[in-house]
Every structure is written in structure tokens, then in C-alpha cells.
Amino acid sequence: MSLPVKKKVITFFKKKIDENTLKQKKHFFLSFAYFIESFRAYRRIKSFVYNLIENDQYPYKKYFDFFMIIVILTSVTLLVIDVKHHIPVWIDELDLYVVTSILILEYLARMWVYSDVHKIVIDEYEESRFFDKRLSFFHLFWKIFQNKWGYISSFSAIIDLIAILPSYRGIRILRVLILFRAFKMLRYTKSLNGFIYVLKNKKFELMTLLTLVAFFIFIAGIMLYVFEGDNKNPNIHNLFDAFYWALITISTVGYGDIAPVTPEGRVETMVIVIIGIGLIAFGTSLIVASFNERMSVLREEKVIVNVSRKKSLIVICGYGLLGRLVAKGLQKEGLEFIVLDKDENLVSQAFNSGYNTICTDASQGEIFVKLGIEKRISHVLCLTSDDIQNAFIAINVKSLNEKVHVTVRCSDEEIAQKMEFAHIDQVIMPEEIAGMMSAVYAGEPVAFEVLLSIIEEKEKTQIDEITITRGSFLEHKTIGDVNFDSYRLILLGIFTSKDNGKTLGEFLFNPSDDYYLHVGDRLVCIGYSAAIANLKKRM
């Protein structure tokens, strides 16, 4: 075989080997990417890390934030002490290795949860198969790098990286960068985050204001330099001194180290002071108004975090007269609830009463998703004065979770019938109830007074329901076996249970003595509140 032919054969086999190696590498990366995608433990761990460092709604994030603030403050404190007093070697090494390791791990963890590399690999592979094109490793890695670069080049990530640099002690000046660790606390304090949000939200207005201020400083500085720079004022040696005076004057600080001596300069000073007062007032009102907008958002987030710890929650939509009475009754019963209303005055009244309150339009379903309608909300009470709005709220809630018990206030009989067709659990017509009560008062005033005293608990008497729980002493007993007189109670009736106590059945008024009690049955009793509480304790 001639030499050129040998070279061609060797080149051919090398190419084949390189192609096989490339295929093996591609197969490895793809297999690993699909393995990560199907690995539930990996997803759970990554979700936990993400919630711990990024999700403000996660209940354990506040402990992580507190820990990081302590670490940062400790590091900065050691830097301050080391200025005049040399700290022991072991403390310095503790700061070097432990604190730096924590910061590096946090930096890598944030980069890790920023995006899913395996999903990029899978998407690129499936796209190449769909369009029948070759999957390029260079293009794949470049896309992964671009994705991660979005985090690396962010302002907060740069601060994180600068905070790690002081760990290199070869250059002493780098230790000053420890102060950048203080900027990291912006991540862990919501108040500082709120301030940054305000600055970002009003960036255009603030930049316009700063441009206007810079313009006035530039014009005022040049004017003063022209008026008094020609040896007329011994304190103005150059243009920088004039600009310095203009900045101090327009900010209304006025140190007094530079004062105009010419009439023109003094007139200019008066004009600049008046302009400065106007600019400061404009800037202050701008920031205060933005903070007021932000405060409502922060208050909403705080309320959502508070109710997220509750296992069961009742939502009151509307804080009118009926809403206030219901909230007062639920508070007396010790039940957890939250009030939603779009009227800021009513929201302020509910907030001042000590209730969890959010100013929002309850007809929008987003708020119920935030409150956890899938697992936390048990009842929704639509009590606004607008029947149409109550209908929208009820339908939205049922569309999100049909298991939630929805009660709707309604004044129009036609709308009330439509609510029943929409499978709303309960429709209340206050006007109809008021009419019935008025008829009772007109025909039987004594019975009305008795009923009213029971409802308002004037004589410490109330009507309440007692649910029979599993293992209760009343389970599988008959009505005749229970001596309600000994408990100082009167049994009015029983709501029977279905599906092992999950739903209510029919109501039996004055049931017979041979009726067997089951788990989930609800006894409707009348008696003193202390007697009802005593029986509830035994359940």
C-alpha cells in the first residue's frame, strides 16, 4: 500500500473514531439530561433551595435571611475591629474559611436555581430532531453560557462576587471590599428591597429630576464664576469651587464656607435657594407617593404570609354592615378569616379592627390563588352590596375549586335562582329574612323578643352546632341514651351526615329517641354558652 493511500485510510478511521466519540458524548449528555428531568429527588432539592433563597412566601426563608444577615454583620464587625486592634489568628481564619465558604455556596446555589441546564439540552436536542439538523456542542454550550450569564451579569450577582473577593488576603486593600457584603443585606431585608423598588419604579421621574438639578447646578456655577471668579471672592479659586457652591446652595444645606460677595451673586443665591426648595419638595412628594403605593403591596404580602400559616381560612368579600357583623361573629368563634374589599375606607376600618385585610377586587381570581384556594380556603362569603359582583366572585371561586363552600348575599330573586342553578352552596336574601322577622314581630312580639335575645346572646343563650367526631362518647349512641337535660341543653334537631361525615344530609327536627348518632352528624342545640362549650370539650 502506497504512503498516500495509508494516510487516507488513517485519516478516514480517525474521523470515524472522532465521530463515534462525539456521538458517545452526545448520548451521555442527553441521557444525563433526561435522567435529571425524571429524577424527582433532584427536583425536590432544587425546589427547596430555590424557595429558601428566592421565594419570599416560603415560611423558612426568613430564617435563612436572618442567618445571612448575622454572617455579614459579623464579617463587617471583624473588619472594623481589625483597624486598630489585631484580631486573633483563629478568628481571622474563621472569617476567611467559614464566612467565605458560606458566601461561595450561596453564590453557586443562586446560579444553580437561576435556570435548568438540562432543560436547555433537552430543548435543543428535540429542536434538532424536529428540524432534522445536526446538534452542535458549541452552540449548545454557548446557549447555556448565555443563559447563566444573565445571572452572572446582574447587579446583585456582581455584588455577591465582589463580597467574595476579600477572601484573597494576598492584597490587603481587597479587605476593604468586605464593606460590599453590607450591600448583600439588600437581598434579605424587605424594607431595603422596597426602597430599591421605589427607585426603579420611578426611574424616569427621578432621572428627569436629577437632569434638571444638574442643569441648574451647571448654569448657577458658571454664573457665579463669571460674577465673582475674577479675584472678587477669595473663596472661589476655580470653576470647581463654583460648582461646589451651587450644589450646596441648591440643596439648601449652606455650609457657609463660600458666600457671594457681589450683588449679582447674592441675587443669584436667592433664586437658586427658591429653585432648590421647589426641587426638593417635588422630589420628596414623588418618593412619598411611590412609597404609599408600595406600602399597600407590602401590606398585602404580609397578610398573605400570615394567612399562609393557617390550615383553614374563611374569606369575607365585602366589609359593609353585613360583612362587619359576620367578621365580629367569626372572631368571637375563634375562626381564622380574611376580609377582601376594594373600598380603601372600608379596608382601613377592617384593618383598624385588627382583621387580616387586603384592598383588592375579589371578583378577580388571582387573589384567591395567592391565598391558597386549593388547600387552605374552606368557605367564601360574598357579602358585597352588588348582586352582580357577588355572582362574579362566586363563579370565579367555584371555577378555581368547586369543593369550597360558597355563600352569596343576594337581593334580586331572579339572580338568586340563577345562583342555585350555578351550584352555589347557599344564597342568603337579607331583605327576605328581615321581612319574615318583621312579620313575626308584628304577629308574635314576645316570640320575636325571645328569638332576638337568643341571636344577640343577650341572656348568654345561643344556638350552636356540635359535630360528632370519631371516637366521641356520643358515637353510635341513640338520642334516648343521651341525657341532654344533664348538660343543660335542648336539642332542636340534627343535620345527618353523608360520605362518612364529609357532606351534610337532611335536617331532622326533634328526632326520635331511637335515632343512632354517627360520625359527622351535627347536633343543633340551644342553651347557655357555657353549657355548649362544656359539651364541645368532650367531643
How far apart CA 76 and CA 245 sit, in angstroms, is: 35
The full DSSP string for 349-402 is: HHHHTT-EEEES-TTSTHHHHHHTTTTTEEEEEE--S-HHHHHHHHHHHHHH-T
Within this chain, do residues 491 and 379 fall inside the same structural domain, yes or no? no
Please say if the pLDDT value at position 538 is more than 60.
Answer: yes
Instruction: Please tell me the predicted confidence (pLDDT) of residue 429.
Output: 78
Please say if the pLDDT value at position 469 is more than 60.
Answer: yes
How far apart CA 529 and CA 459 sit, in angstroms, is: 10
**Mean pLDDT in residue range 108-124:** 85
Handedness of CA 268, 271, 276, 277 (dihedral sign): positive
Within this chain, do residues 412 and 466 fall inside the same structural domain, yes or no? no
Range of the domain at 148: 25-188
**Residue 228: which pLDDT band, with cuts at 50, 70 and 90?**
confident
Within this chain, do residues 209 and 184 fall inside the same structural domain, yes or no? no
CATH number at residue 524: 3.30.70.1450
Q: Which three cell numbers stand for residue 494?
A: 340534627
Residue 498 host element (H or E): strand 489-498
Assess contact for 355 and 323: CB atoms under 8 A. no
Across-strand partners of 507? 495
Question: Is residue 76 assigned to a domain?
Answer: yes
Please say if the pLDDT value at position 447 is more than 70.
Answer: no
Within this chain, do residues 85 and 141 fall inside the same structural domain, yes or no? yes
**Range in 90-94, 184-188, 379-383, 523-527 with the lowest mean pLDDT:** 184-188
CATH number at residue 398: 3.40.50.720
Q: Shortest CA distance to 379 belongs to which of 463, 325, 317, 323? A: 317
Assess contact for 343 and 318: CB atoms under 8 A. no
At which of 294, 326, 351 does a domain end?
294
177-227 residue pLDDT tens: 666 666 777 666 665 666 666 667 777 888 888 899 999 999 998 998 888
Cα–Cα distances in Å, from 249 out to 131, 225, 234, 241, 289?
Answer: 67, 14, 18, 12, 26
Most confident region among 2-11, 16-25, 455-464, 475-484 by mean pLDDT: 475-484
pTM higher than the cut 0.85: no
Instruction: Please tell me the predicted confidence (pLDDT) of residue 403.
Output: 85
CATH number at residue 265: 1.10.287.70
Most confident region among 93-107, 214-228, 303-317, 362-376 by mean pLDDT: 214-228
Within this chain, do residues 32 and 130 fall inside the same structural domain, yes or no? yes
Percent share of the chain, pLDDT over 70? 81
Across-strand partners of 509? 493
Within this chain, do residues 479 and 375 fall inside the same structural domain, yes or no? no
Long-range contacts, stretch 357-362, CB < 8 angstroms, 24+ apart? 357/303, 357/319, 358/299, 358/300, 358/303, 358/304, 359/296, 359/300, 360/300, 362/315, 362/317, 362/318, 362/389, 362/393
Question: Is residue 446 assigned to a domain?
Answer: no
Within this chain, do residues 103 and 172 fall inside the same structural domain, yes or no? yes
Calculate the average pLDDT of the chain. 79
Q: Shortest CA distance to 466 belongs to which of 447, 449, 482, 448? A: 482
Within this chain, do residues 172 and 56 fall inside the same structural domain, yes or no? yes
Helices (runs of H) and strands (runs of E) counted in the chain:
22, 10
Instruction: Please tell me the predicted confidence (pLDDT) of residue 215.
Output: 92
320-338 residue pLDDT tens: 888 888 888 888 878 889 8
**Bigger pLDDT: 135 or 480?**
480
Within this chain, do residues 144 and 280 fall inside the same structural domain, yes or no? no
Cα–Cα distances in Å, from 367 out to 33, 194, 301, 317?
Answer: 36, 21, 11, 11
**Residue 22: which pLDDT band, with cuts at 50, 70 and 90?**
very low
Within this chain, do residues 53 and 182 fall inside the same structural domain, yes or no? yes
Please say if the pLDDT value at position 296 is more than 80.
Answer: no
Close Cβ partners of 63 (under 8 Å, ≥ 6 residues apart): none
**Bigger pLDDT: 380 or 256?**
380
Within this chain, do residues 156 and 260 fall inside the same structural domain, yes or no? no
Question: Is residue 318 assigned to a domain?
Answer: yes
Structural domains in the chain (count) = 4
Q: How many CB atoms lie within 10 A of CB 144?
A: 15
Instruction: Please tell me the predicted confidence (pLDDT) of residue 218.
Output: 92
**Mean pLDDT in residue range 237-264:** 86
Assess contact for 246 and 217: CB atoms under 8 A. yes
Question: Is residue 451 assigned to a domain?
Answer: no
**Range in 141-145, 220-224, 436-440, 490-494 with the lowest mean pLDDT:** 436-440
How far apart CA 307 and CA 202 sit, in angstroms, is: 31
At which of 227, 259, 294 does a domain end?
294
Within this chain, do residues 290 and 317 fall inside the same structural domain, yes or no? no
CA atoms within 13 A on the CB side of 303: 27
At which of 294, 320, 345 does a domain end?
294
